[in-house]
């Protein structure tokens, strides 16, 4: 019989080797040692099985913000042989309830602030466990159980896709997928050891929770900010108080962090490990500012829920070395460890060097499929390759540059326009803090481009100046026909811009199905 691949076993080595070191901290306050974490996980797993009827293969939804209990219960789910379904606590409770129902969760773990509104919406078969309640605390008192054996192909994490254009789909990630993701981190991001720490300033339900795995396995402390999320000043304080600190942020939070560091010359950037950036393309200007403020520590990665955190990447050193190479800096790097990446045409034939096509992926981190969605699975994994829906081009050196999402390409006057190209130009204006470009129906051009622009604190964006900037940098037909100044862009919990919502804000777009 083959050995168990249960992710819960990642806690075994640090519980033996660095047993008394802090494993989980709330700010600067230790919550669990490594031995204590392993023990409480085994106790909670026993309670999930005995008191809540959770059996191997059952699904447990986690709808809560970042807190120490989240990490403990996540590993307890795996220890019991069950499948974790992390769901963003930033969703509306009705949206969260739909996902709990979709995955047929036998148990839903949630926080006190959400429980009252979420409970009436849950399926009758789903029990509720509220973090901070007497019932939740009681799960730490059960007699510990041995971890259930799991094989590499068994489901471990159902990762719900962003759902930016429609119904979210649950990507089935196995224990093997996430072990391979961790191996890829060691192979081509950085080594990890007990002198490292990981700061969870992004949601545990998404990339931050995934990136925790290679750090937990090597005995690196998990630090949860008391605020429960991202606050630049708090983050810098935590970096100053912990050993080599690594964290994940989407580009929008990288900008906020860099702005804070630029205003604080004494910021402890020398105590940083790696600043992991992903979830959306990073404009070259943001990378330049990031490296200037943080040093050669900015890692730029490309992944999807269907291949978690692991498609291509620019290492921190490669990103810093590309500062004088605009094309290389605009890329998302080369394929990750054990991962194959191709760019193909509509018939799935590889395109030539530098030609635009869809990015497809094969490797040990690629999902088994979508939960309960056989047709969507067949479409996404046709030919044995994950079809990402992203358009890109690859140069002769194997560096991939993302052009845009296939569904976001605008056809105006018969020409293809990639919104990201226009957005990158707009973001070079010092008065622009954020920008998104969408296409909406137009009776003359077929589609026209509308730019939504957020002020960046250096004056108010001037549409005429933006138009002149576009005309100086890109073809005339690519420039927006309209500029809308807004306070903020709508984003999903992972930081991606919700372009469907922006289209609805343009008069006439919703009625025509844009």
Query: Could you give the angle at the alpha carbon of 437 between the alpha carbons of 87 and 163, nearest 5°?
Result: 20
pLDDT recorded at residue 416: 81
Question: CB of 223 within 8 A of CB of 71?
Answer: no
- Is residue 128 in a domain? yes
CB-based contacts of 313: which residues, under 8 Å, 6+ apart?
A: 188, 189, 299, 300, 301, 302, 332, 333, 334, 336
CATH code for the domain of 15: 3.40.50.12780
Query: Could you give the angle at the alpha carbon of 432 between the alpha carbons of 431 and 435, nearest 5°?
Result: 165
Q: What is the DSSP string of 383-426?
A: GGSEEEEEEEEE-TTS-EEEEEEGGG-EEETTEEE-HHHHHHHH
Is the pTM higher than 0.85? The answer reads yes
Question: CB of 41 within 8 A of CB of 237?
Answer: no
- Is residue 437 in a domain? yes
pLDDT band for position 2 (50/70/90)?
Answer: low
- Is residue 204 in a domain? no
Q: Is the pLDDT of residue 78 over 50?
A: yes
Least confident interval from 10-24, 203-217, 274-288:
274-288
pLDDT recorded at residue 162: 66
Which whole number is the average pLDDT over 174-195?
97
Which whole number is the average pLDDT over 123-151?
97
Own/partner pairs, 239-242, CB within 8 angstroms, 24+ separation: 239/199, 239/267, 239/268, 239/269, 239/271, 239/272, 240/268, 240/271, 241/28, 242/25, 242/197, 242/199, 242/271
Average pLDDT over the chain reads 93
Q: Is the pLDDT of residue 494 over 90?
A: no
pLDDT recorded at residue 166: 58
Count of the separate structural domains present in the chain: 2
Q: Is the pLDDT of residue 475 over 90?
A: no
Q: Which of 105, 129, 151 is the last residue of a domain?
A: 151
Q: Is the pLDDT of residue 18 over 60?
A: yes
CA dihedral 51, 86, 215, 238 (to 10 degrees): -100
- Is residue 62 in a domain? yes
Q: Is the pLDDT of residue 413 over 80?
A: no
Question: CB of 251 within 8 A of CB of 54?
Answer: no
Reported as a single tens digit per residue, the pLDDT across 307-366 is 999 999 999 999 999 999 999 999 999 999 999 999 999 999 999 999 999 999 999 999
Reported as a single tens digit per residue, the pLDDT across 439-467 is 998 888 888 999 999 998 778 999 999 99
Own/partner pairs, 432-437, CB within 8 angstroms, 24+ separation: 432/456, 432/461, 432/466, 433/255, 433/457, 434/252, 434/255, 434/488, 434/489, 436/489, 436/497, 436/499, 436/502, 437/410, 437/480
pLDDT band for position 427 (50/70/90)?
Answer: very high
Q: For the chain, report the end-to-end CA distance as a whole number of angstroms.
A: 54
CB-based contacts of 239: which residues, under 8 Å, 6+ apart?
A: 199, 245, 267, 268, 269, 271, 272
- Is residue 192 in a domain? no
Which whole number is the average pLDDT over 78-100?
95
- Is residue 377 in a domain? no
- Residue 467: count of CB within 10 angstroms of its CB: 15
Alpha-carbon distances of 212 from 23, 247, 312, 315, 514, rounded to whole Å:
12, 9, 19, 18, 38
- Is residue 478 in a domain? yes
Reported as a single tens digit per residue, the pLDDT across 29-65 is 999 999 999 999 999 999 999 999 999 999 999 999 9
CATH code for the domain of 433: 3.30.300.30
Least confident interval from 148-157, 205-214, 403-412, 461-470:
403-412
Q: Is the pLDDT of residue 415 over 80?
A: no
Q: Which of 130, 151, 172 is the last residue of a domain?
A: 151
- Is residue 240 in a domain? no
pLDDT recorded at residue 432: 94
Q: Which of 126, 151, 176 is the last residue of a domain?
A: 151
Q: Which domain holds residue 470?
A: 416-504
């Amino acid at each position: 019989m083959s050995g168990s691949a249960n992710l819960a076993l990642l806690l075994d080595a640090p519980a033996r080797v660095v047993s008394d070191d802090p494993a989980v901290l709330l700010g600067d306050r230790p919550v669990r040692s490594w031995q204590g974490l392993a023990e409480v996980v085994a106790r909670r797993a026993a309670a999930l099985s005995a008191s809540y009827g959770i059996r191997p293969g059952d699904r447990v939804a986690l709808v809560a913000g970042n807190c120490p209990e989240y990490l403990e219960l996540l590993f307890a789910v795996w220890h019991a042989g069950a499948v974790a379904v992390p769901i963003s606590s930033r969703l509306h409770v009705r949206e969260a309830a739909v996902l709990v129902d979709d995955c047929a969760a036998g148990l839903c773990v949630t926080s006190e602030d959400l429980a009252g509104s979420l409970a009436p919406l849950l399926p009758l078969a789903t029990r509720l466990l509220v973090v901070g309640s007497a019932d939740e605390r009681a799960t730490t008192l059960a007699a510990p159980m041995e971890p259930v054996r799991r094989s590499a192909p068994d489901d471990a994490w159902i990762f719900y896709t962003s759902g930016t254009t429609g119904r979210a789909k649950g990507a089935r990630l196995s224990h093997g997928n996430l072990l391979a993701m961790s191996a890829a981190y060691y192979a081509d991001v950085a080594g990890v050891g007990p002198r490292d720490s990981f700061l969870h300033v992004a949601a545990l339900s998404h990339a931050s929770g995934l990136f925790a795995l290679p750090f937990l396995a090597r005995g690196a402390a998990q630090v949860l900010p008391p605020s429960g999320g991202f606050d630049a000043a708090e983050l810098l304080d935590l970096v100053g108080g912990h050993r080599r600190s690594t964290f994940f942020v989407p580009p929008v939070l990288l900008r906020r962090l860099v702005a804070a560091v630029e205003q604080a010359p004494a910021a402890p950037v020398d105590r940083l490990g790696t600043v992991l950036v992903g979830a959306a393309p990073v404009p070259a200007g943001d990378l330049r500012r990031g490296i200037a403020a943080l040093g050669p520590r900015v890692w730029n990665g490309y992944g999807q829920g269907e291949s978690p955190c692991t498609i291509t990447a620019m290492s921190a050193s490669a990103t810093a070395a590309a500062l004088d190479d605009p094309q290389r800096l605009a890329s998302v790097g080369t394929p990750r460890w054990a991962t194959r990446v191709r760019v193909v045409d509509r018939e799935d034939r590889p395109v030539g060097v530098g030609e635009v096509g869809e990015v497809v992926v094969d490797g040990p981190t690629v999902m088994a499929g979508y939960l309960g969605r056989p047709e969507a699975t067949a479409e996404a994994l046709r030919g044995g390759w994950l079809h990402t829906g992203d358009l890109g081009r690859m140069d002769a050196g194997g560096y991939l540059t993302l052009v845009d999402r296939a569904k976001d390409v605008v056809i105006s006057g018969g020409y293809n326009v990639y919104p990201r190209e226009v957005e990158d130009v707009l973001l070079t204006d010092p008065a622009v803090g954020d920008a998104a470009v969408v296409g909406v129906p137009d009776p003359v051009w077929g589609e026209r481009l509308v730019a939504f622009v957020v002020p960046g604190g250096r004056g108010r964006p001037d549409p005429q100046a933006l138009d002149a900037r576009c005309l100086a940098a890109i073809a005339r037909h690519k420039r927006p026909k309209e500029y809308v100044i807004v306070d903020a862009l709508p984003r999903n919990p992972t930081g991606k811009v919700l372009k469907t919502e922006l289209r609805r804000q343009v008069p006439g777009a919703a009625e025509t199905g844009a």
